[in-house]
Amino acid sequence: MRIGIAADHGGFDLKLQLSEALKAKGYEVKDFGAYTLVEGDDYPDFVIPLAEAVSKGEVNRGIAICGSGVGACIAANKVPNVRAGLIGDSYSAHQGVEDDNMNMLCLGGRVTGYALSLELAQIFLSANFNETERFKRRLEKITQLEKKY
């Protein structure tokens, strides 16, 4: 599976750690920056290119990190076809994929430690969408909303 990862200064260290760990586990990881730690850089500069790559299918899934994960999640969800969730527990890490076809995992680099973040990422990346009618029906309503705007 080809995945993308992005972070601002608030998630910079966690991005490096997760990138290396996920590569070691066999994932192809494309880094969308930040490539150097710059205090005060802006999460949209890195998260939006990642979200666009997810939207176009250039990567299968994305992991976006800022200090809290909130800004990254807000930015990612502005891009059509992106379904990003700010995740801090294992249940949501797989249920968000199974029920809601979540394709981007957002993490708070100042909130969620490395070990838990890696577990959450692996759970997210291992989960698959459950293509039952009610889940598809709900997503179709969101797709229609995207078309409206």
Q: Which residues bind ligand RB5 (CB under 6 A)?
A: 8, 10, 43, 66-68, 70-71
Q: What's the min distance (Å) between Cβ of 39 and ligand RB5?
A: 8
Compute the distance between CA of residue 41 and CA of residue 131 in angstroms, rounded to an integer: 39
Annotated catalytic residue within 18, 51, 66, 125: 66
Nearer to ligand RB5, 7 or 102 (CB): 7
Which of residues 15 and 94 has its CB atom nearest to ligand RB5 in the complex? 15
Residues 4-36 as b or e (16 or more Cβ within 10 Å = b): bbbbbbbbbebbebbbebbeeeebebeebbbee
Residue nearest to ligand RB5 (CB): 71
Q: Are the beta carbons of 116 and 89 closer than 8 angstroms?
A: no
CA distance 109 to 114: 8
Q: With beta carbons less than 8 A apart as the criterion, state whether 10 and 68 touch.
A: yes
For the CB of residue 9, give the shortest distance to ligand RB5 in the complex, in Å.
6
Q: Is residue 66 flagged as an active site residue?
A: yes
Cβ proximity to ligand RB5: between 53 and 66 the closer is 66
Catalytic residue numbers? Answer: 66
